[in-house]
Amino acid sequence: MNTVKPEDTYESFVSQFRNVSFMQSKKWSLVKEGWQSDRLVLKDKEGNVKGAVQLLVKKIPYLRTNFVYAPRGPVCDPHDKETLAKLTDMMKDYAKKKKAFVFRVDPMIPHDDTEAVEILKSLGYSYDVNRSEDYMIQSLKNYVLRINGRTEQEVFDSFHQRWRYKIRTAIKKGVRCEYENTSLDDFYPLMVETGERDHFNIRSKEYYKKLLDAFGDDARLYICYAPDGTPLSGAVVVRYGDRVSYVYGASTVNQRNLMPNYLMQWNMIQWAIESGCTIYDFMGVPHCEDESHPNYGVYRFKKGFNGGVEQYAGEFDYVLSGFKRKLVRFLLGLKGYRKI
């Protein structure tokens, strides 16, 4: 097999692959400040693409080494050991050139796909099935609504009756849900408020603009407005492959009786249906099994749309230098690198 990496070949293969994440799109690499990126494509002798992967490279300060990461990759048949082996060799060579101490993959394979997990382990990846999701870069569990060719009415009718009532209530009370990628001035204050309320760090306004610009027509910024024009909730969603993904969301505590979040989700689900996608991905629901956890309310909200939790296998590390890995964790563990 030969390796090539023309961008049109890469993007065309990845975007048409079943069960793929927008994080493996070249467009996502344009958003990731502080990371270098590259893409590898594997072809057979006839020129058919067998697999591909986007790699992000993060410099580790002070230590003259790098962390290489394939977010939700590689993209290939997870049961094709030959292809995975060759892609692994390519990633290994690439990581060595980058003086990386490890490269990490977290492909979108189900946690109970023991065949795929064993193949990766047999190729030299280390895997800890008991690793806490708090220390993973991506969420271990996503909440997913499978559309599977259903009409808007069929999908709407599948929602919990209280959720249908709240969507209708928002419409009846005059809430407007619009998408306009230039509405960042309405969205960003909502994000700031949400970050302060729920105690998480938010990105800069420029980051969200960069994301919307990178994905173009495949990204939308939705805003729900009260009848008086006050912004109530907002979300950034990305359409890629066979899914629309709810990437960032925010809302105000004011006028919650207008139920804007329910109407906003319904509008975004409608976009997925109109686009012919098979999946609307609500994204992460960490600790959804623990009703006492602070994140449980997020799961409860998403659950009303009658999808299901999909748990992935998690992260697989190919360690190139165990010594450097220990050093990175020891020296930088208290500075935000606990996930590496």
- Determine how many CB atoms are found less than 10 A away from the CB of residue 214: 19
Strands across the sheet with 2-4, in order?
A: 2-4, 36-43, 49-60, 65-70, 100-105, 316-319
21 and 131 fall within a common domain: yes
Q: Is residue 340 part of a domain?
A: no
Which of helix, strand or coil describes residue 206? helix
In angstroms, how far is CA 329 from the centroid of its own chain? 25
The mean pLDDT of the chain is 93
pLDDT score, position 338: 55
Strand partners, 59: 66
Considering only CA atoms, which of 310, 241, 303 is closest in space to residue 278? 241
- For the chain, what percent of residues have pLDDT higher than 70? 96
231 and 328 assigned to the same domain:
no
pLDDT attached to residue 116? 98
Per-residue confidence (pLDDT) for residue 44, from 0 to 100 = 94
- For the segment 307-334, the average pLDDT, to the nearest whole number, is 90
CB neighbours of 76 closer than 8 A, spacing ≥ 6?
42, 50, 51, 52, 83, 84, 87
* Domains identified in the chain, total number: 2
State how far the Cα of 163 lies from the Cα of 305, in Å rounded to an integer: 7
CATH of the domain at 205: 3.40.630.30
125 lies in the same domain as 58 = yes
Per-residue pLDDT at 316 exceeds 70: yes
Residue 280 belongs to domain spanning: 142-311
Q: Are 131 and 238 in the same domain?
A: no
Q: Does 148 score more than 60 pLDDT?
A: yes
Strand-pair partners of 68? 57, 103
What is residue 339's predicted lDDT score, i.e. its pLDDT? 65
If asked whether residues 48 and 158 sit together in one domain, one would say: no
Nearest by Cα to 11 from 69, 75, 56: 75
85 shares a domain with 172: no
- Cα-based torsion angle of the residue sequence 332, 336, 339, 340 in order, rounded to the nearest 10 degrees: -40
| pLDDT interval class at 225 (50, 70, 90) | very high
Whether residues 17 and 149 fall in one domain: no
Residue 243's beta-bridge partner residues?
Answer: 240, 279
Q: Does 288 map to a domain? A: yes
Does the residue 151 lie in any domain?
A: yes
- 268 part of a folded domain: yes
Do 55 and 187 reside in the same domain of the chain? no
pLDDT at 2 over 60: no
State the Cα torsion 145-282-129-32 to the nearest 10°. 140
Pairing between β-strand 141-146 and β-strand 308-311 as defined by DSSP bridges:
antiparallel
The verdict on 130 and 29 lying in the same domain is yes
* Residue 195: per-residue pLDDT: 94
Q: Both 237 and 104 in a single domain? A: no
Statement to judge: residues 182 and 233 lie in one domain:
yes
In-domain check, residue 13: yes
Residue 77: inside a domain: yes
- Residue 153 pLDDT > 60: yes
Residue with tokens 């009532």: 165
- Which 3 state secondary structure label does DSSP give 315? coil
Q: What is the pLDDT of residue 340?
A: 64
Examine the pLDDT at 5 and tell me if it is beyond 50.
no
The position carrying tokens 């109970």 is 112
Residues 124 and 22 in one domain: yes
Q: What is the mean pLDDT of residues 63-73?
A: 95
The torsion angle over the Cα atoms of residues 70, 75, 79 and 82, rounded to 10 degrees, is: -80
The residues pairing with 220 across neighbouring beta strands, listed in sequence order, are 237
Mean pLDDT, to the nearest integer, of 278-298? Answer: 94
Q: What is the mean pLDDT of residues 238-246?
A: 97
Answer whether residue 258 is part of any domain: yes
Q: With 80 as the cut, is the pLDDT of residue 334 above it? A: no
The pLDDT > 90 percentage for the chain reads: 86
Residue 323 pLDDT: 92
Pairwise CA distance, residues 310 & 143, whole Å: 6
The answer as to whether 113 is a domain residue is: yes
Which tens digits make up the pLDDT trace of 158-217?
999 999 999 999 999 999 999 998 899 999 999 999 999 988 889 999 999 999 999 999
Q: Is the per-residue pLDDT at 91 higher than 50?
A: yes
pLDDT in tens, 108-143: 999 999 999 999 999 999 999 998 888 899 999 999
Q: What is the pLDDT of residue 241?
A: 95
pLDDT digits (tens, 9 = 90+) for 9-32: 999 999 999 889 999 999 999 999
Q: Which residues contact 65 (CB under 8 A, 6 or more apart)?
A: 99, 100, 101, 321, 324, 328
